[in-house]
């Protein structure tokens, strides 16, 4: 059974990501460590005692579609009610609409715990929180007044409707259309696929945010507008009215997260005799919908990164517990009777330590991204620009690296379990199945790597990333000069990885400056892993400097795993030509 690592989460927030200095400086008003600790403790209790016990039934029974209605697994509706009664949906939402306006750092920490306990549960509120942010920043006062309070409380949920069967990740190809009705509303027509929590019975209304094209709109993404389309129309007094012309026509049968309903949504088909055309309201300006939706998508990308961290944490806990119970063979380190627990075997230890280290660095990167988001919000002038650029830089790392880690760690967890991991009874296989979607949705990890190289490396005239690397090098230097026992060759490993990162960064920036974007993008995926590993090593060192009990895992990572950085640099710098040549052999005539 999952047990929330509250102390580990609190330590990473405070001493690695920077929450404690921010609290000491009064950055978040009266928020203090006592309240932070209380929130984390209660979130951990709720995740472990309330959410986790319903994980298995959710995985085994899943969400069920009957007609156009989706029924959630037994106990999930009651669980969701207890969750919103606890105020968890409102944690980081604006106070104006009933939220608690707490830092994003606390929100993502709690999100980690919900997803560790049951990823299929945690993803639902993720979309609602993203909808709240998009409406708060872009919607009219009238729409905010009518919808935000119930979305903030969680009484209603929100969705994000982007892709369509012919479009995939290419939003240029979207065909859903919107027609002005002449009364300030629009009629929406089209099909959307892969819509998470598009239909369910947890709440009595669902608020869909839908990308569609207006008549005469420009081609491509420049012609997309964003619309609010409720499942049930809402009166001026807040009461629910008639059913809108939107329904779920299908539910995907997925590899994992079975309790999360992944829906095909139909708009404007005359559902149950209604007049054709789903009634919607414009959010923001016409043809500026993608900018509005990106507010929601960026929120979702960090949240999906937390899913990777979350599954990695649960997989590590499960594997470590099994390794201490399972007995097999003999080892020199075990002086007990009978066979040794497999945790004594060096190869099992290597797997477990790799799982632990990767989980910690993915958590640190994600929390540092949240830290940057928080500081961008409360800062002004150049400082606000700096923190926004830092958040922009770290978002693709948090999403892509963390979700890759989720899959990698869940796979290692299966290996530690051996044959028992490959069958469903232990639960290790379910975690692997759940984890596999996270590198795919909210922008595939390849797209995140493209975004990192093409859009984020040029930030600040190309110098922001080098300032970030300099900050990481300062941590490496602190480890070298600390005189603390046990660091071994950690500083050497960090210096080498950060030098590799600097070389790879300048190489890619040079390609971009010369207009050789294809060559630069050929190295994008290895570059994303390179910068993540180098940053992660520095974050482990930062934690070890604050708490010497962490030196051992920091050294293990630096001396056993961080050497991958040099190979990644070579792939970035020398791999483009061979990739292009070999890639041609894959293309059919």
Catalytic (active-site) positions:
442
The burial of 492, by beta-carbon neighbours within 10 Å (0-12 exposed, 13-18 middle, 19 or more buried), is given as: middle
Asked whether 191 and 228 are in contact (CB, 8 A), the reply is no
From CA 199, how far away is CA 289, in angstroms rounded?
Answer: 23
From CA 2, how far away is CA 476, in angstroms rounded?
Answer: 34
Asked whether 99 and 128 are in contact (CB, 8 A), the reply is no
Half-sphere exposure (Cβ direction) of 244: Cα atoms closer than 13 Å: 31
From CA 309, how far away is CA 51, in angstroms rounded?
Answer: 17
Centroid of chain to Cα 132: 17
From CA 263, how far away is CA 73, in angstroms rounded?
Answer: 16
Q: What HEC string does 439-459 produce? A: CCCCCCHHHHHHHHHHHHCCH
- Spatial neighbors of 479 by CB under 8 A, at least 6 apart, are 487, 490, 491, 494, 541, 544, 545, 554
CA-nearest of 118, 4, 111 to 60 is: 118
From CA 80, how far away is CA 531, in angstroms rounded?
Answer: 38
In this structure, what is the dihedral angle of CA atoms 573, 575, 581, 583, given to the nearest 10 degrees?
A: -120
Distances (CA, A) of 432 to 156, 257, 309, 438: 31, 10, 13, 11
For 499-533, give the DSSP string.
Answer: HHHHHHHHHHHHHHHTT-HHHHHHTHHHHHHHHHH
DSSP 8-state assignment for residue 128: H
Distances (CA, A) of 66 to 71, 194, 201, 270: 8, 18, 12, 19
**Pairing assessment for the beta strands 157-161 and 206-213 based on DSSP bridges:** parallel
């Amino acid at each position: 059974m999952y047990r929330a690592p509250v102390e580990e989460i609190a330590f990473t927030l405070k001493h690695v990501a920077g929450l404690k200095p921010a609290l000491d400086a009064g950055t978040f008003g009266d928020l203090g460590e006592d309240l932070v600790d209380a929130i984390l403790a209660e979130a951990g209790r709720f995740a472990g005692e309330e959410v986790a016990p319903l994980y298995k039934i959710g995985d085994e029974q899943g969400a069920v579609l009957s007609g156009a209605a989706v029924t959630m697994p037994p106990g999930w509706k009651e669980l969701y009610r207890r969750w919103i009664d606890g105020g968890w949906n409102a944690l980081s939402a604006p106070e104006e609409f009933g939220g608690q306006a707490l830092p994003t750092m606390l929100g993502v920490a709690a999100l980690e715990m919900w997803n560790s306990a049951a990823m299929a549960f945690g993803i639902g509120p993720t979309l609602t929180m993203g909808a709240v942010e998009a409406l708060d920043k872009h919607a009219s006062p009238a729409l905010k007044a009518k919808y935000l309070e119930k979305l903030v409380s969680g009484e209603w949920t929100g969705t994000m409707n982007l892709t369509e069967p012919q479009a995939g990740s290419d939003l240029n190809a979207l065909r859903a259309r919107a027609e002005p009705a002449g009364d300030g509303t629009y009629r929406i027509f089209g099909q959307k696929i892969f819509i998470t929590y598009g239909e369910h019975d947890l709440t009595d209304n669902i608020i869909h945010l839908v990308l569609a094209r207006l008549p005469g709109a420009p081609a491509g993404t420049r012609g997309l507008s964003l619309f609010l389309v409720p499942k049930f129309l809402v009166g001026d007094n807040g009461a629910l009215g008639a059913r809108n012309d939107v329904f779920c026509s299908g539910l995907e049968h997925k590899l994992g997260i079975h309790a999360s309903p992944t829906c095909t949504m139909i708009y404007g088909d005359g559902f149950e005799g209604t007049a054709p055309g789903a009634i919607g309201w414009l959010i923001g300006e016409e043809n500026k919908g993608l900018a509005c939706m990106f507010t929601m998508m960026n929120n979702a990308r960090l949240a999906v990164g937390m899913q990777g961290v979350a599954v990695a944490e649960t997989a590590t806990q499960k594997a470590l517990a099994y390794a201490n119970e399972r007995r097999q063979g003999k080892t020199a380190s075990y002086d007990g009777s009978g066979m040794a627990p497999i945790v004594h075997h060096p190869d099992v230890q290597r797997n477990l330590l790799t799982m632990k280290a990767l989980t910690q660095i993915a958590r640190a990167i994600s929390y540092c991204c949240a830290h940057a988001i928080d500081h961008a919000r409360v800062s002004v002038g150049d400082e606000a620009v700096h923190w926004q650029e830092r958040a922009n830089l770290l978002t693709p790392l948090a999403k892509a690296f963390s979700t890759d880690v989720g899959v990698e760690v869940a796979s290692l967890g299966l290996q530690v379990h051996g044959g028992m991991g490959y069958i469903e009874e232990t639960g290790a296989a379910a975690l692997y199945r759940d984890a596999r979607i996270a590198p795919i949705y909210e922008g595939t990890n390849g797209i995140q790597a493209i975004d990192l190289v093409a859009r984020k490396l040029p930030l600040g005239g190309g110098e922001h990333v080098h300032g970030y690397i300099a900050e990481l090098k300062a941590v490496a230097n602190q480890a070298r000069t600390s005189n603390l026992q046990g660091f071994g060759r950690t500083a050497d490993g960090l210096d080498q990885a950060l030098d590799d990162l600097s070389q790879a960064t300048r190489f890619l920036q040079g390609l971009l400056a010369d207009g050789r974007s294809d060559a630069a993008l050929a190295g994008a995926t290895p570059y994303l892993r390179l910068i993540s590993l180098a940053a992660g090593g520095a974050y482990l060192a930062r934690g070890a400097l604050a708490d010497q009990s962490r030196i051992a895992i920091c050294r293990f990572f630096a001396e056993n795993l961080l050497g991958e950085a040099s190979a990644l640099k070579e792939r970035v710098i020398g791999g483009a030509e061979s990739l292009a040549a070999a890639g041609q052999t894959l293309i059919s005539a």
